Structure 1
Amino acid sequence: MRLVTFRQKDRLQHRIGALTPDGTVLDLAAADPALDGGFMPALIAGGSAVLHHAQAAAAKAPEAKGAMLCAPIPRPAKNIFCVGKNYHEHAREFASSGFDASTQEVVPDAPVVFSKPPTSVIGPGEPIPSFLDPTNSVDYEGELAVIIGQGGRGIRSADWRQHVFGYTIVNDVTARTLQHKHRQWILGKGLDGFCPMGPAILTADEVPDPAALRLTTQVNGEARQDAVVADLIFDIPTLIATISAGITLEPGDIIATGTPVGVGIGFKPPRFLKPGDVVRIEISGIGVLENPVA
């Protein structure tokens, strides 16, 4: 199922819903009061028992009239774990762009992990605040993100499936000049509003093979990125094992797996985002994450 977090004009709190194939939002708490409260990490931490509650509620839940989608996890408990240069062609694209000040290697020997703070998260349809980048070098990066279910430390790559709750879409928005200037990535990628997320969490039971998922990105209707997750340099089992080796992963933690070739800095000259642009990212099964640029 596709789980969402939404708001309604006449209610202050978030609510948890299910997104139907035609885009209707179902109010799960209206069908099962046990799901009231709208806190997605609590649902995730509840494991299969609570997920079964949600699945049963979806079968009888009413439409949430006037629902406004939020990020599935509007305020993550921790920074989002992100992985840089994790598609071969993008690694080459980035190396040749002149914006990579971190290393001279093209394809990394180990996962390049950085993070984006919770304050960077915004939902579908919310404007990307490009005005926060004084260098006018805002770029897009469409990515598949993994949502951790069962937590743990020292997770073996062979056991990765039992620790994944589901998948969503992240736009790893980046101020390229800041990224280069500071010789690390958090100040260029962690600005407020620079992590659009959504529209839903597609639960892992609906994804027998995440490597088969296809990601596409458009800017103002123009195709920019098109890749399958199988093209990752370091796959999802490797990322989970690498990060959890010394950092405890917890329910609701998010791992953005990297972006494929086709970002703005790959063009000559670079094609940065500007106010009025619209970025549309789609991953098969999850849906569409679309955000205007402000």
Structure 2
Amino acid sequence: MVNATVPSPMQVKSNAQAGILKFSSWGFVAFIVIYLLTPIIVTLLMSFSDASALRFPIREWSTKWYGDFFASPQWTDALLNSLMIAVGTTVISTTCGVVAAWAFEKYEFRFKPLLYLLVMLPLFMPGVVLGLGVAMAMGSADILGYQLYGSRLIVMLAHSLWAIPLVFMLMETTFRTVDHRIVEASYDLGGRPFQTFFEIVLPSVSTGIVSSALFAFVISLNEFVMALFLTTRDTQTLPVLMWLSLRSAGTPRLAVASVVLACTVIISLAIIMVWHSRQLRKAQA
């Protein structure tokens, strides 16, 4: 005779609570995902509107605003400015942030906590404060006849005020994973400091460098407030042009510009994920 185990009332109640908790958790996750994706989906749909103004829901569908965007020199020039400034910001911030992070990780010096705070401080400053400060500090600067104000260079320098602390923070954490015994072994075998840094240290933290660089790229690409203070009509970025156009005529061209920026961000995040996956496979091989 088989004795069936009958669950106690306490077990039944516990199982019911676990089921309710699981259902509630999945429902909350679904709500968060929908909440986060709704603006992106609505913007994507609006870019295919045939209307002459931003209006939702969409009554007629068309791709004419994509053709209008890429046929307009003003909009394509703004996109090119954004990309060039983002690339320049990435180079500046990645170089400075990586070197500074390695110095903080490897060496001990006085007032290190204070210097850490000062390096991170611009990341928490409002863009309007940094943009106005850069405009006043460098606006009248002239480098070999090259007017700094209104140039792409001054925007790169301004965007780096946010990007450098971000790269520094990510890379300082990454450098803590470096096995310093390998570094010391390189020194013992005659490796020079620069040679060791470039041939031993940097390859071991390549995933962190790529991730930091792409995050810096995305921050610069989407930044608006500092660019508004520092650009002219010839160097204005795509977010600045979008804001100016929204004030005069809000057409679905703005949605197209938003989709272009969003696609660039998604591509950057995809590169990070692919790179990270490849590095994990190499480490496991």
TM-score computed with the length of structure 1 as normaliser: 0.24
Greater per-residue strand proportion: 1
Relative to the length of structure 2, the TM-score reads 0.24
Rg bigger for which structure? Answer: 2
Return the structure number with greater helix share: 2
